[in-house]
């Protein structure tokens, strides 16, 4: 299957393939350069995904780092490592109410104080109530590129942004929506069901 680049992939990624070309007469160095070029290119991959079932889908690939109840609403946080796909997907059909970019620091995304990092805050109107989603940049990530803005209607699993390099995505679920994952579980954006409506298997 061809490697599909994500929307927002920087043009300079193509330059990563220049060293392997220049080092074609130096096999040992060329192997290392090829590995590095492949890793950088793979970071911006955008694979197709098929939802595993009904419910709210994971917005990001990665490790669920926190699941907790906050004032009657469930909070689910996912940490993305450098090797994860960094295309964010919307968990459920919704309309974008607000979208706010906040300047901040670039601490490690898995740190407890990473909430002060640069971030993109979303408020989404869903059939089950308001869903809040926050995308954080990390120590390496320096840019979050949204594909849609306020007023846009999006379908379940649709691609909505690209976070460049390591990062984190937090969800504050609507009231009555309960998590279907636990801390330490690995999830895949647009594929893994992370929450369901209380008393129902659909969302």
Catalytic residues: 167
Please tell me the distance from the alpha carbon of residue 49 to that of residue 192, in angstroms, as a whole number: 10
Using a CB cutoff of 8 Å and minimum separation of 24, what contacts does 141-147 make? 141/106, 141/109, 141/165, 141/166, 141/167, 142/106, 142/118, 144/101, 144/118, 144/119, 144/120, 145/7, 145/8, 146/99, 146/120, 147/7, 147/8
What backbone torsions phi and psi does residue 30 show, to the nearest 5 degrees?
-65, -35
What token pair was written down for 178? 């309960």
Which residues are paired to 89 by β-bridges? Answer: 159
- H or E stretch at 152: none
Q: List beta partners, residue 196.
A: 178
Find how far residue 21's CA is from the centre of its chain: 32
């Amino acid at each position: 299957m061809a490697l599909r680049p994500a929307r927002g992939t920087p043009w300079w990624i193509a330059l990563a393939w220049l060293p392997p070309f220049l080092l074609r007469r130096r096999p040992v160095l060329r192997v290392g350069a090829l590995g590095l070029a492949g890793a950088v290119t793979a970071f911006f991959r955008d694979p197709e995904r098929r939802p595993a079932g009904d419910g709210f889908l994971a917005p990001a690939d990665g490790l669920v780092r926190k699941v907790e109840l906050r004032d009657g609403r469930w909070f689910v946080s996912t940490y993305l490592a450098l090797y994860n796909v960094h295309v964010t997907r919307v968990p459920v059909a919704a309309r974008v109410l607000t979208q706010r970019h906040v300047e901040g620091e670039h601490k490690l995304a898995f740190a407890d104080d990473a909430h002060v990092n640069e971030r993109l805050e979303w408020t989404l109107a869903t059939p089950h109530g308001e869903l809040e989603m926050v995308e954080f940049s990390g120590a390496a990530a320096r840019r979050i590129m949204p594909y849609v803005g306020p007023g846009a209607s999006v379908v379940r699993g649709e691609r909505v942004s690209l976070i460049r390099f390591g990062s984190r995505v937090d969800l504050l679920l609507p009231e009555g929506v309960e998590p279907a994952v636990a801390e330490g579980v690995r999830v895949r954006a647009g594929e893994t069901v992370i929450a369901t409506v209380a008393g129902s298997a659909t969302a």
